[in-house]
């Protein structure tokens, strides 16, 4: 009986030690030194079936996104507010990183068919994103073939 008790205690202690050595899961957002989390990003262009449409700040688009370091995001199309999760890999020397976005379901507040179509295009582009390319004052979301689907510029550059 004493031998069995020691074996059980040894197994429990070993399990606790192994569990304590397990590494924590990697954060979903990019590391702090290369992070794109934090600033408010304003939509500067998006892809439609007809091609990529650049937008001039202050001329039509009020769509924005905030990427949070905990792997969540909050965004607005200009009519509706929505949120979701995002993940990136580490940025490489060419300033690109693998990425994925998962917008949560939301109720559209778009007031007309054109606005609703814009929101559908925006959500489709988030879901199609497979990588991000970082620039001096913006980020570009790319699909699986490397074509741009969304362009954002920062609204609050250096903090």
Instruction: Write the pLDDT tens digit of every residue in 64-118.
Output: 999 999 999 999 998 999 999 999 999 999 899 999 999 999 888 888 998 899 9
Closest listed residue to residue 98, CA positions, set 65, 134, 62? 134
pLDDT tier for residue 131 given thresholds of 50, 70 and 90: very high
Q: How many residues does the chain have?
A: 159
Alpha-carbon span 2 to 39, nearest angstrom: 62
Percent of the chain with pLDDT over 90: 50
pLDDT tier for residue 59 given thresholds of 50, 70 and 90: low
Closest listed residue to residue 122, CA positions, set 103, 99, 97? 103
Tell whether the model's pLDDT for residue 30 goes beyond 70. no
CB 142 within 8 Å of CB 132: yes
CB 37 within 8 Å of CB 31: no
Tell whether the model's pLDDT for residue 3 goes beyond 60. no
pLDDT tier for residue 57 given thresholds of 50, 70 and 90: low
Domains detected in the chain: 27-154 (2.40.128.270)
* Mean per-residue pLDDT of the chain: 79
- DSSP letter at 137 equals S
Indicate the pTM of the whole model: 0.74
Alpha-carbon span 119 to 142, nearest angstrom: 18
What 3-state class would DSSP assign to 136? coil
Alpha-carbon span 86 to 71, nearest angstrom: 5
Tell whether the model's pLDDT for residue 157 goes beyond 60. no
Residue 26 neighbours by CB under 8 Å, 6+ apart: none
């Amino acid at each position: 009986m004493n031998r069995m008790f020691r074996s059980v205690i040894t197994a429990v202690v070993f399990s606790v030690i192994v569990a304590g050595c397990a590494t924590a899961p990697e954060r979903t957002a990019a590391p702090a030194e290369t992070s794109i989390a934090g600033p408010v990003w304003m939509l500067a262009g998006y892809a439609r079936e007809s091609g990529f449409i650049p937008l001039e700040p202050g001329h039509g688009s009020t769509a924005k996104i905030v990427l949070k370091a905990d792997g969540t995001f909050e965004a607005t199309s200009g009519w509706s507010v929505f949120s979701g999760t995002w993940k990136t890999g580490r940025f490489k020397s060419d300033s690109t990183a693998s990425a994925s976005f998962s917008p949560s379901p939301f109720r559209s507040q778009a007031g007309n068919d054109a606005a609703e179509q814009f929101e559908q295009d925006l959500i489709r582009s988030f879901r199609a994103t497979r990588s991000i390319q970082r620039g001096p004052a913006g980020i570009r979301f790319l699909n699986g073939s490397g074509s741009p689907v969304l362009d954002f510029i920062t609204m609050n550059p250096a903090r």
